[in-house]
Amino acid sequence: MFYLFAAAVAFAWAVGGIVSGPIPRGRLTAAGRTRFSVLTPVAVGLVAAGAVVAVVALFRKVPPLDGFLDDLLARARGPALPTALVTLVNGAAEEVFFRGAVYAAAGSLRPITVSTTVYALATVATGNPALVVAAVALGLVFGWQRRSSGGVLAPVLTHLTWSAALLVLLPHVPGG
Q: How many alpha carbons lie under 13 Å from residue 9 in its C-beta half-sphere?
A: 19
| Extents of the domains making up the chain | 36-172
pTM for the full predicted model: 0.89
Looking at residue 99, the DSSP 8-state letter turns out to be I
For CA atoms 63, 69, 71, 74, the dihedral sign is negative
Phi-psi region of 19 (alpha: psi -120 to 50; beta: other; left: phi over 0): alpha
Cβ atoms 159, 91 nearer than 8 A: yes
- pLDDT given for residue 36 in this prediction: 53
Cβ atoms 25, 151 nearer than 8 A: yes
- pLDDT given for residue 42 in this prediction: 94
- pLDDT given for residue 27 in this prediction: 80
For CA atoms 157, 160, 161, 162, the dihedral sign is positive
- pLDDT given for residue 174 in this prediction: 73
Residues of the chain with pLDDT under 50: none
Residue 33 forms beta bridges with which residues?
30
- pLDDT given for residue 171 in this prediction: 83
Nearest one of 165, 158, 160 to 39, comparing CA atoms: 158
- pLDDT given for residue 9 in this prediction: 92
- pLDDT given for residue 33 in this prediction: 58
**Per residue in 73-116, pLDDT tens?**
666 666 778 888 999 999 999 999 999 999 999 999 999 999 99
Coil, helix or strand at residue 24: coil
Between CA 52 and CA 159 the distance in angstroms is 13
